[in-house]
Chains A and B, each alone.
Chain A
Amino acid sequence: MRILTVILKRVLQLAVLALLVTSASFLLSSLIPGDFFSAQELDPTIRRQTIDQIRHRYGLDQPLLVQYGRWLGRCVQLDLGDSLFYQRPVRGIVLDALAKTLWMGIPALLLGMLGGIFLGAMHALNRNNFFGLALDLLSTVALALPTLVLGLGALLLAAHTHWFPLGSMGSASLQDPRFLAWFADRIHHLLLPVACLTLPILAYVERIQCAALIDLLNAPYVRAARARGLAQRHIFLHYQLRPSLNPILSTSGPLLGSILSGSLVLEVIFAWPGLGQVTLNALFSRDLSLVIGCVVGSTILLVAGNLLADILLLTLDPRTRVAGGAI
């Protein structure tokens, strides 16, 4: 029951966010002088009437409110309009780009979360010896490294050692028709961007997980369990690790936003045709419907991430299932 409420809440949130974001984008875009065809006005070989006709065809000569109303009407039918730059439906472009961003983002998120939880647990258990100190130092350095520096550093490594390709999603010159060869090539191109995206997440999750677990190491109920003679392994897994996952799961929603921001920079560095690149191109070419499509895409991704985090939290931490429980 509780899960249904949470899903409903998130879907409502998505609707409100999307409405706000799109109306804000439309409003903001009206403040900027010029539109997609302004550049063509400078071209003396194109007649003024032609440009006006094209504007009329795309409805760009209509008042803003009319444009927004039309856009909303089509949006309800899951049609985000056409991109003027690519001459294709926005929905297809955004879904394509989103898939490419997730191709990099999901492995990074999984590795970062699982690895971070593991390392955080190791850190909490070894906090007084050399291993803990090393982890502490490493996570401090990793947290201070911005994605930009990390990405360019990785590119430097790739350029000097030739171990990794210099960006893009796959080799265009790949001749081997077998699926396995294609897949291996993709993975080879994926390694560096994912490593750069994972490292900050890993350090962040490690920090939070370690702090959460340390709080539980000597909690009264843990001592009680130990006094009853439960196995150390059982205590750790069920009494300490499971409840300690709460903080990291409740902060993992915003983490997805930071992945989107981080992957934008990495997409530029590694020439990765994901959502960030598409958004930047749309911004530069003043392709309004595509900009809004990208914003909607990233909003959906964010809300979906939050929803997933909520569901995980509800399944893993029974305390949150009680009515009025913290979520």
Chain B
Amino acid sequence: MRNITRLARLLAIPLVLAALLSDFLSPGAPNLLDLSQFYAPPSHIHFWDARGSFHWRPFVYRLRLIESQDASYQEQNDQIFPLEFFCEGYRYQFLGLIPASRHLLGTQTAGVFHPWGTDELGRDVLARTLAGARSSMLVLLFGIALYFTLGLAVGAFAGVGGGWIDAVLMRLSEFVLALPALYLVLAVRALLPSQMPFWQTAFLTAGTIACVAWPPMARGVRGLILQIKNACYVEAARALGASRWHIFRRHMLPALAPFALAQTAVAAPVFILGEVILSFLNVGFNDSGASWGAMLHNLMRDPRVLTDFSWNLAPLGFVFATLFCLNSFSRQLRAKEPSQLA
């Protein structure tokens, strides 16, 4: 069990790096179309050219489509494209702040080197997968922020408010818990416009999932508040004339924080999985805002992807790895929870 956690921690580092440095790591732009290169296989890296002479710098050949029916390609070995580290490429913002145009590995000419092949519109799979990591990370960050705020707020209102507020909020949470989660998410999603800009999609997808996921957090927070409510120090504060808000902020929040943070971490995988499923069902990110789910949705249209163009399944591995990491962290936290609460 400890080894699994260690493995998850090791795996999380490259995943976070992939999300943060996605533009730097990708050899080409994620949305660059090249219809002459659809379903192109991953580039072969060569050291010896067609005449048999050895090159110290590895290189790739450009691919030429020979049969568009089954997308078979042939390498054109008349011109070599040497691979370069820190190669000049498309412009982007490094870490979203610094304008840059260098990429870890690439060729001088854009659209030749596809380390993981291309999809049905000739877009680079590696670049799209990395951009998908960024989208997922964004949804995760928005999601846990919303979950934390919403759950804490509802729980606090119910616990501190008491009376009918408590009754209404708790019946509402039971109602949400009683229904199948995915159907509920779809129903909430149906309220939103089907096409949205990238940032709006990320925020609203996270919001949609948070709308359905909040009850466990709110119920936990409420339960804790009901315990603390009768503690002597709260009673003393009340006797001294402190307002409810002051008591909540000074005396209850510090006691709630460990539970709320742990519960948020426990819910984190839900947001990644939710985003992937929504995009897969074509109601999350659309095709242009690269996301793992949207990439997987594209390949549902063409069963040949499963057998002949299987490099398009790369996002599947990333989804699994990310969920594995988050699940093992959340299990670790769940094991710790009782001692943290004490």
Q: Is B327 an interface residue (CB 8 A)?
A: yes
Which residue of chain A is the closest to B305 with respect to CB atoms? Answer: A159
Q: Is A21 an interface residue (CB 8 A)?
A: yes
Which residue of chain A is the closest to B317 with respect to CB atoms? Answer: A149
For the complex, count residues of B whose C-beta is within 8 A of A: 35
Q: Is A309 an interface residue (CB 8 A)?
A: no
Q: Is B187 an interface residue (CB 8 A)?
A: yes
Q: Are B307 and A153 in contact (CB under 8 A)?
A: no
Which residue of chain A is the closest to B177 with respect to CB atoms? Answer: A254
Q: Are A156 and B306 in contact (CB under 8 A)?
A: yes
Q: Are B324 and A144 in contact (CB under 8 A)?
A: yes
Q: Is B66 an interface residue (CB 8 A)?
A: no
Q: Are B316 and A144 in contact (CB under 8 A)?
A: no
For the complex, count residues of A whose C-beta is within 8 A of B: 40
CB distance from B137 to the nearest CB of A (A): 17
Q: Are A156 and B319 in contact (CB under 8 A)?
A: no
CB distance from A292 to the nearest CB of B (A): 10
Q: Are B180 and A265 in contact (CB under 8 A)?
A: no
Q: Is B175 an interface residue (CB 8 A)?
A: yes
Contact of A159 among B177, B181, B277, B303 (CB under 8 A): B303
Q: Is A166 an interface residue (CB 8 A)?
A: yes
Q: Are B280 and A302 in contact (CB under 8 A)?
A: no
Which residue of chain A is the closest to B308 with respect to CB atoms? Answer: A159
Q: Is A102 an interface residue (CB 8 A)?
A: no
Q: Are B323 and A144 in contact (CB under 8 A)?
A: yes
Q: Are A166 and B186 in contact (CB under 8 A)?
A: no
Q: Are A268 and B300 in contact (CB under 8 A)?
A: yes
CB distance from A14 to the nearest CB of B (A): 10
Residues of B within 8 A of A159 (CB): 303, 306-307
Known: A264-B182, A269-B300. 19 other contacts (CB 8 A): A140-B1, A140-B4, A143-B327, A148-B276, A148-B319, A149-B323, A152-B313, A152-B316, A153-B316, A159-B303, A159-B307, A160-B307, A257-B181, A283-B186, A294-B183, A295-B187, A298-B183, A302-B179, A302-B180
- Provide 7 A-B residue pairs closer than 8 Å at the C-beta atoms, listed in order of the A residue: A20-B175, A32-B190, A140-B4, A144-B324, A146-B276, A257-B179, A279-B186
**Which B residues lie at the A interface, using CB under 8 A?**
1, 4, 175, 177-183, 186-188, 190-191, 273, 276-277, 280-281, 283, 296, 300, 303, 306-307, 310, 313, 316, 319-320, 323-324, 327-328
